[in-house]
Amino acid sequence: MKFYGRKKELETLQNLYRQTEESGRMTVLTGRRRVGKTMLALEFARTHKFIYLFAAKKSELLLCLEYIEEIKKVFSIPVIGEVRTFKDIFSLLLEISRKERFTLIVDEFQEFYNINPAVYSEIQHLWDLNKNHCRLNVIFIGSIYSLVHKIFENSKEPLFQRADRVFHIKPFKVDTISEILSDYGCKDKKTLFDFYLFTGGVPRYIDILVKNSVFSYEQIMNFLLDEYSPFINEGKNLLIEEFGKEYGAYFSILELIAAGKTARSEIESIMERQVGGHLERLENDYAVISKHKPIDAKPNSRIQKYSITDNFLNFWFRFIYRYRSAVETGNFAYIKKIIDRDYNVYSRLLLEAFFKDLFAGTQLYNRIGSYWEKGNLNEIDLVAINDIEKIIVIAEIKLNKSRIRLEALKKKSQRLLAKYGDYTPRWLALGLEDAEEYLFTGKKIDS
């Protein structure tokens, strides 16, 4: 699959590279695995001289022997003495960059916590001494969110505030997924939604599906739910290292949220324990969940719901982890029946997120969310507000648009609209057939 999107990130990386004519620059790329961090770095660096180093799980000495060979492929320099530490490697590269500008990419940078945690202090010392006298453009890539956050954004860590930019690379938005599918000859909006629902816009997952000519719902199901599918253990592979020995408790919470238990009280009632600390870490330390409040809620409002931020993980916990006994016995036909049975209910919230993504892409609204009242009364799927033009869009969203009744929607929105008396309200009934109207950024969508 060719390189898609990331225009803003590439522009910023190029601007930082230009600045290295004056002094060194440090950039951090973080985000969940498979989201395309390495591809982004390599796409940027391919037009000029660069060195790519991967922090594999092995001894520092063995890594350095590999790194020296990579350096010799790019630079014709004599290496005097034995290079045994990453400190020696980084010092050598800083010295080279005094004479020649280039980019250094270090992938899985957080692994030095396991290899030699002193590396971070050593880099900080060398960087502070040499940054203003070198032309090194260094890009550190990290996949374990909690560790990368700690390394660069914790005030107690040596590399705190050393990075000139920290990019949190996110999955593709709906418009990019649509572009990819269109390039492969698929313009069906149901396929677009299914890709959004099952892959969450993660580039690696999309790449796997399109390369295997998997497009329809049935093909996706057969590919995902197979003994040799690369997706069966994906959730576990992504998160066990992140969560560590407490992964069991976190997995249980995520399973409940994926199953629709989105309030803290519901989760604690089922687990029979306090989970406030776990929820806080899942949100702030691991960025796996987020909490949502009604669009008009005050900051201290206790009316809130939790959701898993990653569509693929939401699907994985809802249908694969939850039915792991069936997975272990190879009874994938049973899981397919469960998915077919629950698809309409499960997809409803994802369809809401799908349209929120589309509305955000139009750049016409400064606030986009949902609305509900205490006890989940008068729920409204989507509310989009433009506070400058004083417009409020209120929408109900269904796969079967014909079931939407706008008069009922208007009645549900009375208390909400009472707070926006001088705003012009617009009520919309939205289904997948309307997606095309929202796919182009800046288009006036409700004209």
pLDDT digits (tens, 9 = 90+) for 278-324: 999 999 999 999 999 999 888 888 889 999 999 999 999 999 999 99
Contact 134, 23 (CB under 8 A): yes
Question: Which residues, in sequence order, are CB contacts of 42 under 8 Å at separation 6+?
Answer: 52, 105
For residues 258-282, average pLDDT = 94
Using a pLDDT cut of 90, give the percent of the chain over it: 87
What DSSP string runs through 397-413? E-SSGGG--HHHHHHHT
Specify the range with the lowest mean pLDDT, choosing from 40-49, 173-182, 232-241, 431-440: 431-440
Q: Position 359: which residue type? A: F
Specify the range with the lowest mean pLDDT, choosing from 214-218, 226-230, 301-305, 329-333: 301-305
For residues 146-166, average pLDDT = 93
For residues 318-336, average pLDDT = 96
Confidence grade of residue 425 (pLDDT, cut at 50, 70, 90)? very high
Question: Which residues, in sequence order, are CB contacts of 127 under 8 Å at separation 6+?
Answer: 24, 26, 162
d(CA 342, CA 348): 10
pLDDT at 441: 47
Beta bridge partners of 30: 142, 168
Tell me the backbone φ, ψ of residue 30, rounded to 5 degrees: -130, 170
For residues 176-196, average pLDDT = 95
pLDDT at 444: 44
Contact 366, 375 (CB under 8 A): no
For residues 111-131, average pLDDT = 96
**Residue 114 burial by CB count (10 A; 0-12/13-18/19+): exposed, middle or buried?**
exposed
pLDDT at 246: 86
Reference 431, options 354, 371, 379; nearest CA is 354
Reference 228, options 310, 332, 326; nearest CA is 332
Question: Which residues, in sequence order, are CB contacts of 206 under 8 Å at separation 6+?
Answer: 1, 172, 177, 180, 195, 199
pLDDT at 439: 78
Confidence grade of residue 13 (pLDDT, cut at 50, 70, 90)? very high
Question: Which residues, in sequence order, are CB contacts of 320 under 8 Å at separation 6+?
Answer: 231, 232, 235, 327, 335
Distances (CA, A) of 242 to 234, 238, 268: 13, 7, 23
Confidence grade of residue 442 (pLDDT, cut at 50, 70, 90)? very low
Reference 428, options 446, 403, 441; nearest CA is 446
Domains by residue range for the chain, with CATH: 7-168 (3.40.50.300), 174-224 (no CATH), 234-329 (1.10.10), 355-438 (3.40.1350)
d(CA 67, CA 193): 43
pLDDT at 322: 96
For residues 121-146, average pLDDT = 95
pLDDT at 80: 63
For residues 72-77, average pLDDT = 88
pTM: 0.90
Sign (positive or negative) of CA dihedral 80, 83, 87, 93: positive
Distances (CA, A) of 98 to 81, 91, 139, 146, 153: 20, 11, 17, 33, 28
Provide the CB-side half-sphere exposure for 313 (13 A, CA).
Answer: 24
Indicate whether 438 pLDDT > 90: no
For residues 362-385, average pLDDT = 93
For residues 78-100, average pLDDT = 88
d(CA 356, CA 17): 34
Contact 25, 49 (CB under 8 A): no
